[in-house]
Amino acid sequence: MSTAHTPDRPEDGRDDDPQDRAPEHGHAPGHDQDDRAGYKTDADAGSVDERDEADAPAVDPAAENAEGGEPAARVELPEEQQGEQEIPTFDLTLQIRRYNPEVSDEVHWDEFKLTMYGTDRVLDALHKVKWEIDGSLSFRRSCAHGVCGSDAMRINGQNRLACKVLLKDLDLSKPVTVEPIKGLPCEKDLIVDMEPFFQSYREIMPFLVAGGNEPTMERYQSQEDRARFDDTTKCILCAACTSSCPVFWTDGQYFGPAAIVNAHRFIFDSRDDAGDLRLEILNDKEGVWRCRTTFNCTEACPRGIQVTKAIAEVKNAILSRSM
Amino acid sequence: MSTPLKASISVPRSKDLEVNGVKYNRSSSRRNNFEMYAWLFMRLSGVVLLVLVFVHLWVNLVSPEGGVEAVDFAFVAGKWASPFWQVFDMLLLWLAMLHGTNGLRVIIDDYAERDRTRFWLKVFLFTTSAFVILLGTLVIFTFEPCPAGADPALLASFCAAG
């Protein structure tokens, strides 16, 4: 059910189509970029399919929501996958930036020739290298399904989650390059020290500060008030945005998009009382005013958060508070 | 038992930590509105400069008879005899210089990696900007349109009358 196939998707008899079944990797591939629809996990796979069937005549929400559309598949896969037919395979060259301070301070690139399947992601290629070719390769991954935010890396020069990039969407005529994210100190291979990133996150106080009368049950909030900061609740702290920001690359002193997004989530929360304090923190020399609106962060966010817009809203909030 | 309010919340900010040239914490906690006003100034002065610059170009290069060839000492003297053009040119000078200086200050902050490099580049930048602004302002207000003993052919027409 990749976008390329969507128009021809049979509305029933889906079971004949092995590509269309919730694949072994969990989520339906067509919904990789469907961030607006909220969180989806493996457990939701059933309901996702139901919803799809109900919505089938309407426009595909994935196509509607994905900013700029999903990348077109660059590898032609047969349109119809009948019954016993195998999933198509293709060859690719994977270049990985290697660094191991215990062996050498030099950085080098390793090249691997792999044969992968049409349903595989960059993370599967990394697994194949680690499990079958070179066990010394190090990278982080936890859930492997785009929720935990552990495997942000620079794939073909763009910050992406390795578990959300399908190999067939990449240009396989050239080698696929994988590097650690920039701006944070590299510890080994694709693993960076996230401490400066989390330090900024801690500084904006990413927790609810609510005073007044303590309610006996939950704190109520209208749907409109909840919708005000809905976009910024989606952050998974993968650091793809912060490490794509050229201002952060300079000296790492800038708070960074991720910290501002998470401050935004509480500043615009009607239940929170510490908005002024967070605005004051972000009115720093290294705060929101260092944003140059290059939109790298918005482009990098695997959750589709409008990061630059959120930063602009925080700028406006600081301005209107001071004027 | 309510949550403590603003005053008692301290921002977690541990001491400066630097490992292999990477600063793990922000080195300063300067809290004032300077960066905000600088940001606002860039936007507002940019809009005003768009008008000023194009009026300036039109008046100096397009509207005079003979176009760009017509600009000479007499033309400038004639313009600065009017307080309107004095104020106009001073506004243009100040806004353009401050806008440009702040832009370069931001570029230095973004591209210079060491604090010492930043400091010296900014010293150089601010000195030259202050020099140009002061010199320009001085010229606008002390300009002598009819210097004694000059060739009358080069001067503005009103010099002959006086």
In this model, does residue B112 exceed pLDDT 70?
A: yes
Q: What angle do CA A165, A167, A171 make, to 5 degrees?
A: 105
**A233 vs B63 pLDDT, higher one:** A233
**pLDDT tens-digit profile of A38-78?**
444 444 444 444 444 444 444 444 444 444 555 677 777 66
Please check whether residue A254 is in contact with residue A245, taking contact to mean a CB–CB distance below 8 angstroms: yes
Of A261-265, A285-289, B68-72, B113-117, minimum mean pLDDT range:
B68-72
Question: Are A318 and A202 in the same domain?
Answer: yes
Q: Tell me whether residue A77 is in a domain.
A: no
Across residues A172-192, what is the average pLDDT?
A: 94
Interface of A with B (CB under 8 A): 185, 195-196, 199-200, 202-203, 205, 209-214, 246-247, 250-253, 273-274, 276-277, 280-281, 283-287, 289-290, 292, 315, 318-319, 322
Secondary structure class of A89 (helix, strand, coil): strand
Do B5 and A273 lie within an 8 Å CB cutoff? Answer: yes
A152: its two tokens: 């942000």
Q: Which two tokens stand for residue B140?
A: 């606008």
* Domain assignment present for A182: yes
pLDDT (0 to 100) of residue A222: 95
Q: What is the mean pLDDT of residues A3-21?
A: 43
Shortest CA gap B42–chain A (Å) = 11
Nearest CA in chain B to A210: B3
- CB contacts of B102 in chain A (<8 Å) are none
Lowest-confidence region among A109-118, A212-221, A306-315? A212-221
| Pairing state between β A89-100 and A104-117 | antiparallel
Whether A214 and B6 lie within 8 Å, measured CB to CB: no
| Residue A256 forms part of a structural domain | yes
Give dist(CA A206, CA A265) in Å, integer: 8
CA distance A267 to A2: 38
Per the CB < 8 A criterion, the answer to whether A285 and B37 are in contact is no
Angle, helix B73-80 to helix B83-111, in steps of 10 degrees: 100
Query: Cα(B59)–Cα(B55) distance, rounded to whole angstroms?
Result: 6
How does pLDDT run across A111-124, given as a tens digit for each residue? 999 999 999 999 99
Q: How far apart are CA A260 and CA B3, in angstroms?
A: 23
Split into its structural domains, chain A has a count of: 3
Cα torsion through A244, A249, A255, A261, rounded to 10: 0
- A61 and A113 share one domain: no
The mean pLDDT of A281-292, rounded to a whole number, is 92
User: What pLDDT is recorded for position B12?
Assistant: 40
Residues A225 and A309 in one domain: yes
**Rounded distance between C-alpha atoms, residue A30 and residue A7, angstroms:** 12
pLDDT of residue B42 exceeding 90, the answer is yes
> What does the block give as tokens for A116?
């992968």
Same domain membership, residue A204 and residue A300 = yes
Going along A156-257, which residue ranges are E strands? 158-161, 176-179, 186-188, 191-192
Cβ–Cβ gap A210/B3 under 8 Å: yes
Identify whether residues A182 and A200 lie together within a single domain: no
For residue B132, pLDDT over 80 is answered with yes
For residue A316, is pLDDT > 60?
yes
Q: Is residue A84 part of a domain?
A: no
Gap between the terminal Cα atoms of chain A:
52
Average pLDDT of span A168-193: 93
d(CA B63, CA B65) in angstroms, rounded, equals: 6
Query: How confident is the model at residue A192, as a pLDDT?
Result: 93
Tokens of A175: 């080698």
- B27/B34 Cα distance (integer angstroms): 17
Residues 6+ apart with CB under 8 A from A4: A72, A73, A77
Of A13, A31, A65, the last residue of a domain is: A65
Interface of B with A (CB under 8 A): 1-3, 5-6, 9, 11-13, 19-20, 22-31, 33-36, 38-40, 106, 109-113
Cα separation, A166 vs A156, in Å, equals 13
Residue A27 CB contacts under 8 Å (≥ 6 apart), including other chains: A40, A42, A45, A48, A145, A146
A207 and A307 in one domain? yes
Q: What are phi and psi of B139, to 5 degrees?
A: -60, -45
Rounded to whole angstroms, the Cα distance separating B158 from A260 reads 62
Predicted pLDDT at A84: 59
- A250:B30 CB<8 A: no
Contact indicator for A231, A305 with CB cutoff of 8 Å:
yes
Q: Which element (helix H / strand E) includes A112?
A: strand A104-117
The phi and psi torsions of A216 (rounded to 5 degrees) equal: -75, -30
Domain membership flag for residue A82: no
Distance CA B9, CA A207 (A): 12
Nearest-CB residue to B12 (from A202, A251, A274)? A202
Q: To 10 degrees, what angle do helices A307-322 and A275-282 make?
A: 100
To the nearest whole Å, the CA of A287 is away from the closest chain B CA by 9
To test the contact with chain A by mutation, choose from B1, B3, B113 the residue with the greatest count of A C-beta atoms within 10 A, namely B3
pLDDT tens column, A242-253 = 999 999 998 888
Both tokens assigned to B138: 């001085």
pLDDT over 90 percentage in chain B? 48
Comparison of pLDDT for A70 and A184, the residue scoring more: A184
Residue B40's H or E segment, with its range, is helix B34-57
Do A157 and A206 belong to one domain? no
E strands present in chain B: 18-19, 22-23
The token pair at B21 is 């040239």
Q: What is the mean pLDDT of chain A?
A: 81
What is the structure's pLDDT at A78? 62
Domain B32-161 in CATH 1.10.1740.10? The answer is: no
Question: What is the distance between the alpha carbons of residues A36 and A29, in angstroms, rounded to a whole number?
Answer: 15
N-term to C-term CA, chain B = 86
pLDDT at A306: 96
Helix (H, G, I), strand (E, B) or coil at A145: coil
- Domain CATH for A113: 3.10.20.30
Which tens digits make up the pLDDT trace of A257-267?
Answer: 999 999 999 99
pLDDT of residue B125: 97
B9 pLDDT above the threshold of 70 = no
Q: Which helix (H) or strand (E) holds A276?
A: helix A275-282
A165 and A200 assigned to the same domain: no
Q: Is the pLDDT of residue A307 over 70?
A: yes
What residues make up the domain containing A115?
A: 89-192
Task: Find the CB nearest A250 among B1, B29, B111.
Answer: B111
Top-confidence residue, B76 or A300: A300
pLDDT higher at A17 or A150 = A150
For B162, counting Cβ atoms within 10 Å of its Cβ (0-12 exposed, 13-18 middle, 19+ buried), the class is exposed
A51 and A95 inside one domain? no
B64 in helix, strand or coil?
Answer: coil
Strands A176-179 and A89-100: parallel
